[in-house]
Amino acid sequence: MNILLLGASPSRTSSSRALLADVGERLAGLGHHLSWLEVCDLPSQALLHADFHNADILAALAQVEEAEAVVIATPVYQASYTGILKVFLDILPQDGLKNKLVLPLAVGGSQSHMLAIDYALRPVLQALSAELVLPGIYATSAQLKGAGGQAYAVEAALATRLERGIARLHSESRRYYVDNKEFLHRTPSATAELALR
């Protein structure tokens, strides 16, 4: 399956990015094809003005369109997902996540805002017509030792939730892209079935 890793932190030393890289590596190990998009790498003026003539913006939209699944990793900002992620989701077409599986990941400074995935992000993903938004995975920066230049390491309880989330995405990808022929014909890449074998 073609999976887009969508990073939504403005930070250069991002713990959510380290988490996304880890999840991507594990998905690659299961045979999935990955592409990566960091919202903060897009040209800011073009993004803010929704400039659909800008080549980088068009390429980013094409990356989303070509993906069969999207793993989104956002830091928690003001009890929600980041502003740059909102700006990017705003330029997607109304059904920009149609036929796609989505796995949301969020990293917050504390456990207090663990509902940010379900209260803030999930409704937007559903409104963009995602086929299936998987249960989100919330981490605190303390559970990831990657921030501030320390070596990346995942706390045991989080590691278990990550393994479950990745296994679920993998099994759903088989359910949709191997077992469900009707669904397969609606997807960006009808060759996705082959990619899983």
Sign of the torsion formed by the C-alpha atoms of 68, 17, 23 and 172: negative
Under the phi-then-psi rule, with left for phi > 0, alpha for psi from -120 to 50, and beta for the rest, what region is 79? left
Identify whether the C-beta of residue 103 lies closer than 8 Å to the C-beta of residue 69. yes
Q: Maximum CA pair distance of the chain?
A: 47
**Can residue 103 be called a binding residue for ligand FMN (CB under 6 A)?**
no
| Among the listed residues 1, 4, 5, 15, the single contact to ligand FMN using CB under 6 A | 15
**Can residue 72 be called a binding residue for ligand FMN (CB under 6 A)?**
no
Site for ligand FMN, residues 28 to 57, rule: CB under 6 A: none
| Among the listed residues 27, 64, 70, 107, the single contact to ligand FMN using CB under 6 A | 107
For residue 18 the two structure tokens come to 């380290």
Distance CA 144, CA 89 (A): 26
Torsions phi, psi for 18 (to 5 deg): -65, -40
Q: Which x/- pattern, by CB under 6 A, does the window 74-93 give for ligand FMN?
A: -xxxxx--------------
| Among the listed residues 141, 143, 173, 187, the single contact to ligand FMN using CB under 6 A | 141
**Can residue 143 be called a binding residue for ligand FMN (CB under 6 A)?**
no
Give the binding site for ligand FMN (CB under 6 A): 9, 11, 14-17, 75-79, 107-110, 112-113, 141, 147
